[in-house]
Structure 1
Amino acid sequence: MSIPVVTVGDSREDLVGKLERLHGPVSVVRRCTELAELLAACQSGLARAAVVAQGSEELTASLVDRLSAVGVAVVALTDSTEEMARLQGIGVAAELSGVGAAALAGRIQSAVSQLTGRDPLLRQGDSSGPPDAGRAPESSGGGAVDGAERSGAGKVIAVWGPAGSPGRTMLAVNMAAELAAAGKSVLLVDADSYGASVAAMLGLLDEAAGLAQACRLADQGLLNQEALLRIAAPVVTKTGSFRVLTGITRADRWTELRPAALSLVLSRARQLAEVVVIDTGFCLESDEELSFDTMAPRRNAATLRSLELADMVFAVGAADSIGVPRLVRGLAELESAVPGVSPRVVLNKVRQSAVGRFPERQLRDAWERFGPTVPLSAFLPADPVATDAALLAGSLLLEAAPDSPLRRGIADLVCAPVQRISRSSVFSSTAKRRLKG
């Protein structure tokens, strides 16, 4: 049985006719005049591959991701080798316009096989029907970043916590500073789509929304390491330096943080830094019930994608009678949203006035009796004097209060496990100097 294909654009050599005359691996079921029509045809379950003969410059990573989500592989034809490289960077199988029909048919078959993980001509059971337009692909990353999510040797640390200001940003920012002080090359990413505040905490007068800029370039297939270095703001401390991709400046800009583009940004970040620290949002809702169009942008996609791609997740909650139950419920939601995640649970703002005498013992006993199976990993003491001094100065704990118990707790928390992360073999000393510079 042949692969159903839709095409867009007219070809000087009647590409459709040549494919049809093969009488074999592919069958053109519709010829579209524009990408919008092609996208609608693919989302209806009509095809398993889309051939873009003209207008490939309109393809973006987000569009490819939407097509991959409904089981459609994208093949584009172009006369430019630069455009071919851009298309391949966003997950498109690109070919030169002069490719023969038989070679193009083979390329289509290969692209579909790569997307589905099996030979597209060998259908079994009920999989012989068209792909379900409402079903997400098995891979969370989609075709636009397939094979690119884990490229590079850098490791990703995501800091997440439930609603209620448990201290996500404070922890992420100071984690990045401690790792930089330990000699690691670090990139801090503010992926909170509700209340991005890394720039404010660091005293950066930034209105550029670095992460949104990076996602925009990545969506167009134009983000490389040099561009990422230009966008990321440097933060220099007495003991080290790191770079920051600042968050969106207004909450209504969340649509700029598309998951396919964010995956590409993190892929580039892995190649550039030994450790990438992400400050995520609190909400894990998938938004499926909030939209009639299941392919619409997702408000929480940036948080979910960051957690999916993270090598290590820190779940932080406030150590009081409100924060602990929120964290317990949040961990259940986290397991449901990102199956298989194994977070390191951190209780922040630990103090006698909220818990009683011997607060750590009280919290551990209560957690073992009533909490989830995930064990507690660390307790961070409440230290309002140190945090207020750092916030007032737009600085970090290692500068504003280097001897504070909170600063020492964060250093012990992050530096010990990260020592097990091997230094990147592909991260050149030149690139490392540029990142720190």
Structure 2
Amino acid sequence: MEVLRVVTLAGDPEREADLAPRLATEPSLDLYLRCVDRVELLAAMRSGAIDAIIAVGAPSWFDDAAAAEAARAGLRVVGVADNSLETRALENRGASVLDARSSVGQIVDACRSARPITPAAPSETTGSRSGRVIAVWGPKGAPGRTTIAIELAYALAGTADPTVLIDADPYGGDALQLLGVVEELPTILWAAAAAASDDGRRDLVANLRRVGGHGLLLVPGLPRADLWPEVGHYGYAELIKLLAAEARFVVLDIGFCLEDQSSLGGPGGRNTLALAALERADSVIAICRADVVGVKNFIWSFESLRELVDDDRISIVLNRVHGGEGREIDELLSRHTGLRSSVVFPDLPLDCRKAVEQGEALQEVRPSSDICTRTRLLAERLGGKVRPRGLLARLAGRS
């Protein structure tokens, strides 16, 4: 049998490091090079020494130009994808795509049977599909915006659809730390700049970090609050548009202040991230902390939200409710706003503290928590097809 000379592309370095040694021991393959960047890939293709490319994940540097050169060289490209976003990116480059669980034998067979690639033409529908954009807002006073945004995004990511969480709080983002990510990642500064350029936007989604067991895609917030002027208004708006075209749900954790501060610099000033998110949002989760100060802050700030968003797009959420106080607070909000809460979250500080200490979503640390139950209810009301849990899951599994 003819021995195939192949290279691997480390789109996902960990998965590539696991697969490469197994490929190297396959008698019908000669692992010529393990490429970690564009320079190595181009050198391998131009050497004329290889027959096929095995892309493990979807590296940003395997772009249209690299795919076109592979096509001119008559190379076959096999992609090993772990999710739908990687699959789409690789298929757009003309690759034959296998599931990440495929065996070495299946990968070898694909390398032999695949036709030399012809990069796919851009789909006419690219960018026309639109996922649901959900902005999570609350007034000053720590109502629990970020916690609920993380839990909601995590619940939605547990459905069959890709979900993105954008930490868009210009007064300082904490989602990265709350989710236990300690390494430095490209932030909203990079993402907005990439979305504003033709070259950057092409592989933006493939370069986002996945966190948690459900594969939630994360756009981290500003590393320092004083960097807010560096987020371009156009790039940020394009970022939301691009992610909504790629993902089923886009959840934005936005800042509390909704004042137009154009006179202080830039369109909308420091609050441009919140204002642009509300303008684009299909749904707005308005969070009221269920105590005297929290209710006061909410009622005073809610009119500012109403000036920007129609009532039919707003869902009020009561957070940190003690005992049976939810009904009384709901009546108070109804008298002042004319709206009632859609979901009530109990005050369970020990559950939340455990999640923070472990650097994970509460749904991973303690999925039986009542907070998680209420989060899944909210996700369902926003269109997420949340899988049943506990007794309901067991009943659903019966034939």
Structure 1 length normalisation: TM-score? 0.57
CA 1:206 to 1:332, structure 2 compared with 1: closer, same or farther past 3 Å?
Answer: farther
Pick from 304, 319, 328 the counterpart of residue 362 of structure 1: 328
Q: Provide the C-alpha distance between the structure 2 equivalents of 1:182 and 1:210, rounded to a whole number of angstroms.
A: 25
Read off the aligned partner of 2:337 and give its amino acid letter: P
Q: Provide the C-alpha distance between the structure 2 equivalents of 1:169 and 1:211, rounded to a whole number of angstroms.
A: 16
Please say if residues 178 and 415 of structure 1, whose CA atoms lie closer than 8 Å, have aligned partners that are also in contact.
no
Pick from 353, 361, 364 the counterpart of residue 399 of structure 1: 364
1:418 aligns with 2:383: yes
Q: Provide the C-alpha distance between the structure 1 equivalents of 2:385 and 2:209, rounded to a whole number of angstroms.
A: 27
Please say if residues 133 and 249 of structure 2, whose CA atoms lie closer than 8 Å, have aligned partners that are also in contact.
yes
Q: Provide the C-alpha distance between the structure 2 equivalents of 1:264 and 1:411, rounded to a whole number of angstroms.
A: 29
Q: Provide the C-alpha distance between the structure 2 equivalents of 1:248 and 1:287, rounded to a whole number of angstroms.
A: 19
Please give the per-residue CA displacement for 1:235-282, whole angstroms capped at 9, x wherever unaligned. 131xx2111010110001101222211111111101211111111111
Pick from 239, 251, 254 the counterpart of residue 225 of structure 2: 251
Number of corresponding residues: 263
Corresponding residue of 2:373: 408
Query: Could you say what secondary structure the match of 1:402 adopts?
Result: coil
1:178 aligns with 2:155: yes
Pick from 146, 152, 166 the counterpart of residue 189 of structure 1: 166
Read off the aligned partner of 1:317 and give its amino acid letter: C
Cα distance, 1:338 vs structure 2: 4.2
1:344 aligns with 2:344: no
Q: Provide the C-alpha distance between the structure 2 equivalents of 1:189 and 1:176, rounded to a whole number of angstroms.
A: 10
Corresponding residue of 1:278: 252
Corresponding residue of 1:234: 210
1:152 aligns with 2:118: no
Cα distance, 1:328 vs structure 2: 1.2
Corresponding residue of 1:373: 338
Please give the per-residue CA displacement for 1:299-348, whole angstroms capped at 9, x wherever unaligned. 11011101110111100110000101111122101122446673100010
CA 1:365 to 1:348, structure 2 compared with 1: closer, same or farther past 3 Å?
Answer: same
Please say if residues 335 and 341 of structure 1, whose CA atoms lie closer than 8 Å, have aligned partners that are also in contact.
no
Q: Provide the C-alpha distance between the structure 2 equivalents of 1:225 and 1:328, rounded to a whole number of angstroms.
A: 43
Read off the aligned partner of 1:245 and give its amino acid letter: V
Structure 2 length normalisation: TM-score? 0.62
Corresponding residue of 1:305: 276
Query: Could you say what secondary structure the match of 1:412 adopts?
Result: helix
Please give the per-residue CA displacement for 1:151-180, whole angstroms capped at 9, x wherever unaligned. 432111110110111011001111111112
Read off the aligned partner of 1:194 and give its amino acid letter: Y
1:386 aligns with 2:363: no
Q: Provide the C-alpha distance between the structure 2 equivalents of 1:157 and 1:418, rounded to a whole number of angstroms.
A: 11
Read off the aligned partner of 1:276 and give its amino acid letter: V
Pick from 183, 189, 201 the counterpart of residue 212 of structure 1: 189
Query: Could you say what secondary structure the match of 2:151 adopts?
Result: helix
Please say if residues 223 and 265 of structure 1, whose CA atoms lie closer than 8 Å, have aligned partners that are also in contact.
no
CA 1:283 to 1:341, structure 2 compared with 1: closer, same or farther past 3 Å?
Answer: farther
Please give the per-residue CA displacement for 1:39-58, whole angstroms capped at 9, x wherever unaligned. xxxxxxxxxxxxxxxxxxxx
CA 1:338 to 1:361, structure 2 compared with 1: closer, same or farther past 3 Å?
Answer: closer
Query: Could you say what secondary structure the match of 1:224 adopts?
Result: helix
Please say if residues 195 and 204 of structure 2, whose CA atoms lie closer than 8 Å, have aligned partners that are also in contact.
no
Q: Provide the C-alpha distance between the structure 1 equivalents of 2:138 and 2:267, rounded to a whole number of angstroms.
A: 25
Please say if residues 155 and 275 of structure 1, whose CA atoms lie closer than 8 Å, have aligned partners that are also in contact.
yes
Read off the aligned partner of 2:317 and give its amino acid letter: V
Q: Provide the C-alpha distance between the structure 1 equivalents of 2:268 and 2:135, rounded to a whole number of angstroms.
A: 22
CA 1:297 to 1:327, structure 2 compared with 1: closer, same or farther past 3 Å?
Answer: closer
Read off the aligned partner of 1:155 and give its amino acid letter: R
Query: Could you say what secondary structure the match of 1:276 adopts?
Result: strand
Q: Provide the C-alpha distance between the structure 2 equivalents of 1:178 and 1:282, rounded to a whole number of angstroms.
A: 23
Structure 2: runs of 5 or more not aligned: 1-63, 65-124, 387-399
Read off the aligned partner of 2:173 and give its amino acid letter: A
Q: Provide the C-alpha distance between the structure 1 equivalents of 2:273 and 2:248, rounded to a whole number of angstroms.
A: 21
1:223 aligns with 2:200: yes
CA 1:182 to 1:363, structure 2 compared with 1: closer, same or farther past 3 Å?
Answer: same
Query: Could you say what secondary structure the match of 2:382 adopts?
Result: helix
Corresponding residue of 1:266: 240
Q: Provide the C-alpha distance between the structure 1 equivalents of 2:180 and 2:188, rounded to a whole number of angstroms.
A: 17
Please say if residues 314 and 345 of structure 1, whose CA atoms lie closer than 8 Å, have aligned partners that are also in contact.
yes
Cα distance, 1:297 vs structure 2: 6.5
Query: Could you say what secondary structure the match of 2:241 adopts?
Result: helix
Q: Provide the C-alpha distance between the structure 1 equivalents of 2:268 and 2:317, rounded to a whole number of angstroms.
A: 31
CA 1:161 to 1:297, structure 2 compared with 1: closer, same or farther past 3 Å?
Answer: closer
Please give the per-residue CA displacement for 1:162-203, whole angstroms capped at 9, x wherever unaligned. 011101100111111111222221111111110201101101
CA 1:420 to 1:307, structure 2 compared with 1: closer, same or farther past 3 Å?
Answer: farther
Corresponding residue of 1:138: none
CA 1:271 to 1:165, structure 2 compared with 1: closer, same or farther past 3 Å?
Answer: same
Paired residues for 1:10-89 under 5 Å:
none
Query: Could you say what secondary structure the match of 2:182 adopts?
Result: coil
Corresponding residue of 2:28: none
Q: Provide the C-alpha distance between the structure 2 equivalents of 1:249 and 1:380, rounded to a whole number of angstroms.
A: 29
Cα distance, 1:375 vs structure 2: 2.4
Structure 1: runs of 5 or more not aligned: 1-81, 83-147, 353-357, 422-437
Farther off after superposition, 328-337 or 217-226: 217-226
